[in-house]
Amino acid sequence: MIQQNPVMRICISCRKTYDRKNLLKITKDHKQGIMFQKGMGRSAYICKSKKCYSDSKIKKKLQKALKIILEPEFIDIFEKEITSHNDYPNKGI
Ligand SMILES: [Zn+2]
């Protein structure tokens, strides 16, 4: 049986380490700008706890991590994105 080692990343909000697949990846793509879960370039990860993604400082933290100025409407897109990825089964983890 092949077991893949989980890739661990740190949530930029709570600074806890998680398996990458349980995090939302935000990437500043070289060509396409900000992308979720894909893209090439500087990336930041955030866990899916409401405490983290609804943190009032999350935009600032993302801007710092990605070295970018985010549009005001980014936060709406971001919240939609993270809540739509939030339906993974929580039980058994
Ligand atoms: Zn977090």
User: What is the Å distance from ligand 1's center to 79 Cα?
Assistant: 14
Query: Separation of 51 CA from ligand 1 center, angstroms?
Result: 7
Q: Distance from the CA of 16 to the center of ligand 1, in angstroms?
A: 6
3-state helix, strand, coil in the chain (%, to 5): 30, 25, 45
Q: Give the pLDDT score at 4.
A: 79
pLDDT (0 to 100) of residue 90: 52
Distance from residue 31's CA to the centre of ligand 1 (Å): 28
Instruction: Say how far apart CA 26 and CA 38 lie, in whole Å.
Output: 8
Q: Which of 47, 49, 31 is nearest to 39 (CA)?
A: 31
Ligand 1 centroid to residue 1 C-alpha, Å: 32
What pLDDT, in 10s, does the model give residues 11-65? Answer: 999 999 999 999 999 999 999 999 999 999 999 999 999 999 999 999 999 999 9
Tokens of 31: 């060509």
pLDDT of residue 48: 92
pTM for this predicted structure: 0.83
